[in-house]
Structure 1
Amino acid sequence: MIVLEAQKTVGAAVHIDGVGLHTGKPVRVTLLPAPSDHGIVFRRSDVTEGDNLIPALYEHVKDTTLCTVLVNGAGVAVRTVEHLMAAFAGFHIDNVLVDVDGPELPILDGSAEPFARMIERVGTRDQRPPRRAIKILKRVEYRDGDKVAALEPGDGFAIDFEIDFESRAIERRVGSYEITPDSFGDLLSGARTFGFRHEVEFLRERGLALGGSLDNAVVVDGDEIMNPEGLRFDDEFVRHKALDALGDLYLAGAPIIGRFVGYKSGHGLNNRLLHVLFADRSAWTYVAAVEDVPAQSGATWAEAGVAAAER
């Protein structure tokens, strides 16, 4: 039976500790339940004066170099939000206060899997108001040379992604993923970030990537993978780019109903695509999000919808 999908928050407070990818410093992230229509908001608890709240919305993205950086009107920033945002998208979480005691989220193992396990420990809680979604009505795209990021009409949410690298360790890969709470863990959650050895050395010389290691990234040296355990998936590289896109697009402020198509896209193109989308009011509309639930004996469609919202 198709019913209205309720908004969701995390079932209880839960935290995780790690190190920042760029600072290399310890950082703790705590997820706190938030009320209906609160949205996803980051709170820099180490900032004790002025505004330390940063809404997780595309218009607050101020830098996309190596990661997605959110900045509020007071100039307070939080870096590397994309993996946690992907986990929120995968679990259909709408409302949460993310307390972080430093300028960037921990890199953990370089994927969204630790964040997913964190959420699984406390579960999610349905809230009474229904979710609303952004339905794509026509194709919109953003191009930069041969790189493309586009959104097209579709049912549910899916990602088609293609990468093309000269390294034989990566090469050209194509992935297509239908994203649901049931599929997210198997398809994308565990795919790790990746980079090249010469890039890591360059960044460290400039005081960046100080927390990076083979424990939290796949490192490619020429045509070889340096990690002794190898890859988690044969196509882990393209899966991770799809994971990044999922997190970046969840900064739209609501789930998207449609299909994302990316060719060599990254954080910058993903964010520019959202700007293009919202600048064209004929390209999208808000709709009620729906889900399949077991039919309830004797219940009407409306009664089932209320029941789902009150769970």
Structure 2
Amino acid sequence: MQITAETPFKASILPPSLFKTPSDLPALNQNASRMPWQHTIKQPITCVGVGLHTGRQMRMTLSPAPADHGIVFHRIDLPGSAPIEARYDNVICTRLSTVIANELAPEVRVATIEHLMAALHANGISNLRIDIDGPETPVLDGSAAEFDFLIQCAGVATQAAPRTVIEILRRVHVEDPNGAFAELRPARSGFALAISIDFTAPAIGHQRHAMPLTLQRFRQEVGFCRTFVERKEIEALQNMGLARGGSLHNAIVVEDDHVLNPGGLRHPKEFVRHKLMDAVGDLYLAGHAFKAGFMGHKSGHGLNNRLLRAVFASSENWRLVGNEVHSKAAIHATA
């Protein structure tokens, strides 16, 4: 199936089957049946759209992958190039997006992966092959909703392998001189996020939002929230080679106290909710889901990545739970 950038917004499509235990759940034994499982998608699916920063049209195909494979990108426009694992230590740039590259070939990169990673995180997709014919994922509508829609169309498949979760054992905190910070702290269960922003533009201002990460809450509260920019910054960004594919169709543009998009906002707190969605995507580059609480103030891609590097800098900060067999991602995390 192919979805193009012109496909209408479909955040309201919520197949009931995604909220139930899949009928094909592997019944390995009584104890295993209570454990969370790894997931992939049931069939390949393709989308076509422009890159937010490059302005180039990109074709991207999501395909099923075996257990313990992880999320891996392949630049099919560069034959023979090494695959790029979606992992925090493969992040090479965080200026206005999260960019990953193969450590052996830094020129082989994929940019603006955070919205796709957020949708994969929320849907519990552990293993996926992503073929892309350019250096940036399609921006589509500027949110994670259309990536979520792709996953719904492809279907979610449960795999006969238990999922590994990263449990945070002690508070880990990183900050910038301007007061921005991000931190992970221990939690009794699950993964919850809280974030606040503070912009001088009156149209954005100070906002905050908090929620546990579940698929339903993701779709209802943050998945549909679009990226945003101040109008006065656009020319400077384009002079830097960025935002060449941005438009009122895939980004919110504000000027002083005005939202310039004809349709306005999708939610009064769309700005902070988009930032929370970005964090959901950036933090999935840990290679596994978290048992933790995340807090951030004015945090962005750079702080989110620094936080992951700080977590894995010491084995006293974290441990793996749910699977005694270390996956490839876990081995890299301890390196």
Asked if TM exceeds 0.5, the reply is yes
Amino acid at match of 1:120: Q
Q: Aligned residue for 2:51?
A: 20
Secondary structure at the counterpart of residue 65 of structure 1: coil
SS in 1 for 2:34: strand
Instruction: Give CA deviations for 1:99-158 in whole Å, capped at 9, x if unaligned.
Output: 111000011110000000000012110000100100111110111110100001112111
For the pair 1:127 / 2:155, whether they are aligned, the reply is no
Kindly report which structure 2 residues correspond to 1:197-208, keeping only aligned pairs within 5 A, or say none. Answer: 197-208=231-242
Distance 2:320 2:54 in 1: 39
Distance in 1 between residues matched to 2:180 and 2:169, nearest whole Å: 23
Per the alignment, residue 123 of structure 2 pairs with 91
Q: Deviations over 1:207-264 (max 9, x none)?
A: 3211100000001112211111111111000000001001000000000111110000
TM-align CA RMSD: 1.3
Q: Residue in 2 aligned with 1:101?
A: 133
Alignment partner, residue 22 of structure 2: none
The CA distance in 1 between the partners of 2:53 and 2:228, in whole Å, is: 14
The residue aligned with 2:77 is 46
Letter in 2 for 1:174: R
Are 2:185 and 1:152 equivalent residues in the alignment?
A: yes
C-alpha distance in structure 2 between counterparts of 1:278 and 1:208, whole Å: 31
Alpha-carbon distance between aligned partners in 2 of 1:152 and 1:32, rounded to the nearest angstrom = 34
Aligned-partner Cα distance in 2 for 1:28–1:244 = 22
1:233 and 2:233 matched: no
Instruction: Please say if 1:58 is aligned against 2:88.
Output: yes
C-alpha deviation, 1:199, in angstroms = 1.0
190, 207, 222: which one pairs with 1:173?
Answer: 207
1:113 aligns with 2:120: no
Aligned partner of 1:223 in structure 2 is 257
The question of 1:209 aligning with 2:209 is answered: no
Q: How many angstroms does 1:177 deviate by?
A: 1.1
Three-state SS of the structure 1 residue aligned to 2:157 is strand
In 2: Cα distance, 1:184 partner to 1:207 partner: 32
14-23 or 200-209: which moved more? Answer: 200-209
Matched position secondary structure for 1:183 = helix
> 2:55 is aligned with what amino acid?
G
Tell me which amino acid in the other structure corresponds to 1:23. Answer: T
How much does 1:205 deviate? 2.8
Partners of 2:192 and 2:293 within 8 A in 1: yes
Q: CA-to-partner distance for each residue in 1:41-85, whole Å, 9 max, x for gaps? A: 00000011442x100000000000010000102121000000000
Q: Retained in 1: the 8 A contact 2:75–2:81? A: no
Q: Residue 302 of structure 2 aligns to which amino acid in structure 1?
A: G
Aligned equivalents of 1:131, 1:228: Cα separation in 2: 44
1:189 alignment partner in structure 2: 223
Name the CA distance, whole Å, in 2 between partners of 1:153 and 1:227.
40
Deviation at 1:202, TM superposition (A): 1.2
Give the drift of 1:206: 3.4
Worse overlay, 204-213 or 222-231: 204-213
Structure 1's consecutive aligned runs of 4 or more residues displaced over 3 angstroms after TM superposition are none
- SS across alignment from 1:279: coil
Distance (whole Å) between structure 1 residues aligned to residue 216 and residue 241 of structure 2: 39
Aligned equivalents of 2:237 and 2:200: distance in 1? 21
Q: Percent identity?
A: 47
TM-score for both structures, normalised by structure 1: 0.90
Gaps of 5+ in 2: 1-30, 324-335
Q: Deviations over 1:26-48 (max 9, x none)?
A: 10110000000000000000011
Give distance in 2, aligned partners of 1:89 and 1:50: 26
Bigger relative contact order, structure 1 or 2 (CA pairs below 8 A, ≥6 apart)? 1
Number of aligned positions between the proteins? 288
What's 1:82 paired with? 114
Taking the aligned partners of 1:35 and 1:190, their CA distance within structure 2 comes to: 29
